Structure formats: C-alpha cells, structure tokens
Amino acid sequence: MEVDVNLDAINQHETIMAWLSADDALKILNVRAQTLYANVSRGKIRAKRDTKDPRRSVYHRDDVMRLAKRPQGRRKVEAVSAEAIEWGDPVLPSAISTVSAGQLWYRGHNAVELAAHASLEEVAALLWESDAVQFDDAGVVPDADSKSAPVDNATGSLNAGLLALAARCAGDLPTYGRAAPLLRLEAADVFRTLAHAMLGREPRERGRKLRTQRSLSARIAATWNRQEHEDPIRRTLVLLADHELNASTFATRVTISTGASLSVGVLAGLTTLTGPLHGGASASMKTLLASSVQTGSEAAVREWLAQGRPFPAFGHPLYPDGDPRAKALLEQIDVPEEFSELAAAVERLVGERPNVDFALAALSVACRLPAGAPLMLFALGRCVGWLAHALEQAANGRLIRPRARYVGVALDGENAPR
C-alpha cells in the first residue's frame, strides 16, 4: 500500500529547512520510531543532533521523502538492487577505500591523516599496492623540440586530457590476462599522459641535462607559479585520490571489466567526472557565489531555495556531520570572506555544510590558482583512484553486467509485466 503523503504541503512547510524533527519524519513515513531509527543505522536516513536541543535529533528531509514514496511491505530483489545503485549498499567488493564513522579511509589509513604528510605518489603506491610510484620524468633527457604549454583553463585542460587519453586508447593493450606488475607500470605511464596533457609539458632546461625528481604537487605549483601554495595543493590531491564507488570510479570499473586497457578505463572516468553533479560542482557553485556577492548571502540562499534548486558544493550523503575532506582543506587556507558568509548562510537556512567541491573553489580563489584549477586537481587526484580500481577490477576478471528493471510498454504474451 502506498503511503498517502501530501508532498505539496510538506514542500511548502519546509521551504527553508532541510532537516525534520522526529515527529515530522514519523508522520511522513507513517512508521514506528524503531523503524525510523533502524533506517538511520542502516544509512538510509541521515541524522544529526538538533542545534536547538542537543538531546534530540533531526532527520534529512530528502532521505525521508524518498523513503516515503517507496511502497510498504517486503521489497522484491530488483527493488533492493536498484536502491543499492542509488546511494545504497556497496554493489562491488573493494579493498581500496571506504567511508566509515564519518571518515574516509585508504586501505585502512585515515585519508585526512595521510594528507597531513603524504604525497600523491605515496598514496598511489598504497592504493596500487606497489613499492614505489613515480609520476615525474626524472632521469629523462629533455627533448629539445618539445615546448612547454601550460594549460590554465578548464575547457582547454579537459579537452587536452580527453584527446591525449583517446590517442592512447587505440594502441594500448587490453588489461585482460596481463600480469599485475606490468599493469602497475602502465598505470603510472597512463597517469603521466593525463598530467602532461592537462598541465602542459614541463619547462625544458638549457642543454640536455637530466632533471631531478620532484613530486606532482611541486610540479603543479611550479607550473602555476604558486610554489608558496604547494602544501595545500598536495593535500588536495591526496584527499581527492579516491572515494570508493563514486560515479566516475564505477564507470572506470565497468569499462575495465570488459578487459579494456587502462587508458580506456581512465578515459571513461574522466568523461564521467565532467558532469555538474560530480567534478563540475565547483564550477556550478560560481553562480550561487556570484548571486551571494551581489545580493547578500542570506537573500541569495533564500532565492535559491524558493526556486527549488539543489545547493552545489554543500552536503554529502556519506557525511551527515560534514565532509572531513572539506574541513581539512579549509583549515589550511585563509577562506575568502564571500565563501565564509555563503557557508554560514547555507548552514543556517538549509542545514548543510560545505563539501570538498566548496573547499576546492575556495582554495582556488584563496591561492590565486588558474580558473581551471578545481577540475584539474580533481581529475589528477582522482586518476590515482581510477587506476587503483582498474587494477583491482582487472585482477578480478569478471564482467560487471547489472540487469534492468523494465518499466516500459507492456509486452505481448504470457510473460508481460503485470
């Protein structure tokens, strides 16, 4: 039986707040308190302490409304599977990373703690289960004919990365049946292809001297002439290295499960990352930020709410108490005033805190990075994770092939859906 919920009334009543009291949540769901608490413990409904009364909890409106629309009673296997793909239980086993107790973990290591000291190369070695990983061209004789062409805008760097990976795809060998040590070596080479394309080739020294080794974060800082900001750049790369089965990583794993090459898998991940609900969220926030600067943060947030628009770069289903990656990054910079005011208004009126996309945008402004920096840092950091999952999926050797739950025109014959 469907729960009869007056969605219009609820939407009108909850124009400002994204969190509901227990009484309101129970009325909407039409369930007992034990069921509400069980959904919270299973991660189906986000909850946090009520700032007005710490003895009580409040529950995320979107999660409650989603469950309210679901038919009651025992669900069929296909319904459970569909929920698993949409912010539900993990759909694939993986030993690479996970989110637990409000923290991100890389093979059992707290990602925020790693970001305090580790380089992206060290994190790649951890995630790829490799002794050492090098992304720099140290020890390579510079090519006198090569030119340095740093790319500092989002469109240019993205196009360059997509084209460079596509150029590799036709010639790279499939992953299927190849030894893990060889694939790890190729993974580093695929990463270098993307880095060279998005950042431009490194400046060439006079003569034919051998270059000394340096980290990717040092190279990025030098390319952008922001050497004084290498540390927050390094931390950003580490914190973005992986995030379990996010959309771009899942796309990479599906691609590699066919036996495709590592470069094809990374290309799938990069194309998926560009969406405004994924890696493009920092860019989407520019509109909200511009409105906040023009009209004031509270007026901008209220107008945004009145239009029923989701807030880019705020909140995260896996972090009901706040994204620890964002907190770690924002602590390392002098957050621009316009960002601080917007964050305060969103938390006050909507109940959501900044996520890592907000931190990326704030970092870019605070450190005076190029316009395309958020996307470039996201892509280069996350490429390590894509390749880690590609290596894990190649070792698994199984095709990922979910089934579809057909909801189209009724079929002829006895097998027609009822």
DSSP 99-165: EETTEEEETTEEHHHHHTT--HHHHHHHHHT-S----S-TTPPPPTT-------SHHHHHHHHHHHH
Q: Tell me how far apart the alpha carbons of residues 236 and 250 are, in angstroms, rounded to a whole number.
A: 22
Task: Write phi, then psi, for 279 (nearest 5 degrees).
Answer: -70, -15
Per cent of the chain over pLDDT 90 is 56
Residue for token digits 């409040």?
58
Q: Quick check: is 406 in a domain?
A: no
At 392 the three-state DSSP class reads helix
Together in a domain, 53 and 114: no
User: pLDDT of 99-130, one tens digit each?
Assistant: 998 999 999 999 999 999 999 999 999 999 99
Residue 229 has pLDDT above 80, yes or no: yes
Q: Tell me how far apart the alpha carbons of residues 382 and 238 are, in angstroms, rounded to a whole number.
A: 9
- As for how many domains the chain has, the answer is 2
Q: What is the mean pLDDT of residues 309-319?
A: 88
Q: Please report the pLDDT score of residue 391 as a whole number.
A: 98
Say if CB 37 and CB 106 are below 8 A apart: no
Residue 359 in tokens: 């931190």
Exposure class string for 84-101: b at 16+ Cβ within 10 A, else e: eeeeeeeebebebbbbee
Q: Quick check: is 262 in a domain?
A: yes
Residues 106, 109, 111, 114, CA torsion sign: negative
Higher pLDDT, 327 or 79: 327
Q: What is the mean pLDDT of residues 270-281?
A: 85
Together in a domain, 79 and 108: no
Domain-ending residue, one of 53, 85, 117: 85
Domain-ending residue, one of 85, 109, 133: 85
Higher pLDDT, 400 or 1: 400
Residue 177 has pLDDT above 70, yes or no: yes
Q: Please report the pLDDT score of residue 156 as a whole number.
A: 82
Give one DSSP letter per residue of 339-372, joined into a string.
Answer: HHHHHHHHHHHT---B-HHHHHHHHHHHTT--TT
Residue 218 has pLDDT above 90, yes or no: yes
Across-strand partners of 314? 354
Higher pLDDT, 7 or 26: 26
Q: Tell me how far apart the alpha carbons of residues 91 and 67 are, in angstroms, rounded to a whole number.
A: 20
Higher pLDDT, 27 or 76: 27
Q: Tell me how far apart the alpha carbons of residues 194 and 383 are, in angstroms, rounded to a whole number.
A: 9
Together in a domain, 76 and 32: yes
Q: Please report the pLDDT score of residue 320 as a whole number.
A: 86
Q: Highest mean pLDDT: which of 109-113, 201-205, 314-318?
A: 109-113
Q: Please report the pLDDT score of residue 89 as a whole number.
A: 56
Q: Tell me how far apart the alpha carbons of residues 274 and 198 are, in angstroms, rounded to a whole number.
A: 14
User: What is the domain range of residue 162?
Assistant: 92-401
Q: Quick check: is 245 in a domain?
A: yes
Residue type, position 137, single letter: D
Classify 333 in phi/psi space as left (phi over 0), alpha (psi -120 to 50) or beta.
Answer: beta
